[in-house]
Amino acid sequence: MFKIFKHIDNKSYRPVFGASDIFKFIGPGLLVTVGFIDPGNWASNLAAGSNFGYSLLWMVTLSTIMLILLQHNVAHLGIATGLCLSEAASIHLKPVYSKFVLSSAMLASVSTSLAEILGGSIALNMLFDVPIRAGSVLVTIFVLIMLFTNSYRVIEKWIIGFVSIIGLSFLYELSLVDINWNSALVGWVTPSFPENSMLIIMSVLGAVVMPHNLFLHSEIIQSRQWNLKDEKTINKQLKYEFLDTLISMLIGWAINSAMILLAAATFFETKTPVTELQQANHLLTPLLGKNASVVFAVALLFSGISSTLTSGMAGATIFAGMYKEPYDMKDNHSRLGVLVSLVLAVCIIFFISDPFQGLIISQMLLSIQLPFTIFTQVKLTSSEKVMGKYKNSTFSRIVLYLLGSIVTILNVMLFVSFFR
């Protein structure tokens, strides 16, 4: 007899697998994907394409490969243990260290929410001339209603729809421009470091690998679990998880690449550097027509809303994990985590005079916290006490620590660059 595993939205499912059931595993990865097609990524990618053309596309490829490995690893933690990263840290690490890591992760969640809400409010300003602060409140209220009134699976469907709209929007944008595909192909696979490009290169990386996504993925992957004690079920879960992660991250790679392609084919060709999202929207009108600028703003709005949703969920996961509890919107700790992440972010926005600068500062704060999350994750997934037979192999552990070191060095360089 199979033991039924309780779903995170308090529903239960029978563990029956078939060819058609593969599609039931697709979803958690897409919730993570919206975290690296958020407004912070838009700013970095548009700057990369407008200033350096196709030459920095390789950084999207490299950062996506890093992300696949890290997200795949943290998803294993959720599958093998039934714990999210936050819960596992609270249970298995010394209280002093776990409280420090999780408290800093909560602050990172607030910083992430700030960028996501700002992106949505900038889009409302583009479309309807709504003031940034008022737009921030509207985006937050909408997201809070979504999180507090919908189950996880409903939210998942909404976000899949949002990601689809963003992807279709950029396909439309790309259909209006002439892409130099030979240069694009070279750019995707050939590392290059044009003069004065290091800040943009590090910004692209810092906007892709984000702390809250690592916490979130380890929680939401459990929506596809039925039986932690059955080895066959766990192995099948691990296999389907990688498929979900790979497909979802490739979708994110394609959308991020599309942003750079669009900027390279329009702004770089006309020698027009882009320094803020509103500027890009206004410049598209004379180049591609009004429809292009409207589609751009609509895609940004859905990007801001969907990434704010996942940022709020990550805040709930981290905060509940401090109390050794799973994500559950019926529980006060999860609800409080959402409120801390989103409401505090809105309050900070009211004191920001330059929205674009706010996006940059938020990415800088994430770069400070990221190393703590990565090395905590690798420590836990390499522990036999935590993972049992599913712990990282020696080779995997070396690769993950190497990736963590690379990400850490680049993010520290990004942080230092802001003070030069």
Q: 133 φ, ψ to 5°?
A: -65, -45
Beta bridge partners of 12: 6
Residue 18 has pLDDT above 70, yes or no: no
Confidence at 60, pLDDT banded by 50, 70, 90:
very high
Confidence at 3, pLDDT banded by 50, 70, 90:
very low
52 with 268: CB under 8 angstroms? Answer: yes
Residue 419: exposure state from Cβ atoms within 10 A (0-12, 13-18, ≥19) = exposed
pLDDT at 127: 92
Residue 14 has pLDDT above 50, yes or no: no
Structure tokens at 245: 């992660």
Q: What is the mean pLDDT of residues 320-328?
A: 94
pLDDT at 357: 67
pLDDT at 225: 54
118 with 38: CB under 8 angstroms? Answer: no
105 with 214: CB under 8 angstroms? Answer: no
Which residue type does 248 have? S
How many Cβ atoms are within 10 Å of 289's Cβ, its own excluded? 12
pLDDT at 224: 59
Q: How far is CA 198 from CA 56, 139, 205, 263, in A?
A: 10, 33, 11, 18
pLDDT, one tens digit per residue, over 260-278 is 999 999 989 888 877 777 7
pLDDT at 244: 87
pLDDT at 163: 86
Q: What is the mean pLDDT of residues 267-294?
A: 76
Q: What is the CA radius of gyration of the chain?
A: 20
Of 357 and 160, the structure prediction assigns the larger pLDDT to 160
pLDDT, one tens digit per residue, over 189-224 is 999 989 888 778 877 876 778 888 999 999 988 765
Helix (H, G, I), strand (E, B) or coil at 151: coil
pLDDT, one tens digit per residue, over 145-197 is 999 998 777 888 888 888 889 889 988 988 889 999 999 999 999 999 898 88
pLDDT at 223: 65
Dihedral sign computed on CA atoms, order 288, 290, 292, 297: positive
- 88-92: list long-range contacts, CB under 8 Å, 24+ apart: 88/218, 88/321, 88/380, 88/386, 89/321, 89/376, 89/380, 90/321, 90/322, 90/323, 90/324, 91/324, 92/380, 92/383, 92/385, 92/386
| Maximum pairwise Cα distance, the chain | 66
Residue 17 has pLDDT above 80, yes or no: no
For the chain, give me the number of helices (H) and strands (E)? 17, 0
Q: What angle do CA 276, 280, 283 make, to 5 degrees?
A: 135
pLDDT at 124: 95
Confidence at 13, pLDDT banded by 50, 70, 90:
very low
Confidence at 39, pLDDT banded by 50, 70, 90:
confident
159 with 310: CB under 8 angstroms? Answer: yes
Domains of the chain: 23-417 (1.20.1740.10)
52-66, 351-365, 379-393: lowest mean pLDDT where? 351-365
Of 142 and 157, the structure prediction assigns the larger pLDDT to 142
Please give the helix or strand (H or E) that residue 385 lies within, else none: helix 384-387
Which residue type does 128 have? F
Per-residue HEC secondary structure of 229-290 comes to CCHHHHHHHHHHHHHHHHHHHHHHHHHHHHHHHHHHHHHHCCCCCCCCHHHHHHHHHHHHCH
pLDDT, one tens digit per residue, over 337-349 is 999 999 999 999 9
Residue 8 has pLDDT above 70, yes or no: no
Measure the CA–CA gap between 97 and 203, rounded to whole angstroms: 28
pLDDT at 204: 81
pLDDT at 2: 30
Mean pLDDT for all residues in the chain: 85
Of the segments 168-172, 354-358, 380-384, which one has the largest average pLDDT value?
A: 380-384
pLDDT at 20: 54
Question: How many CA atoms within 13 Å lie on the side-chain side of 319?
Answer: 25
Of 163 and 332, the structure prediction assigns the larger pLDDT to 332
Instruction: Determine the distance from the C-alpha atom of residue 271 to the mean position of all C-alpha atoms in its chain, rounded to a whole number.
Output: 31
Sequence-separated (6 or more) residues with CB below 8 Å from residue 103: none
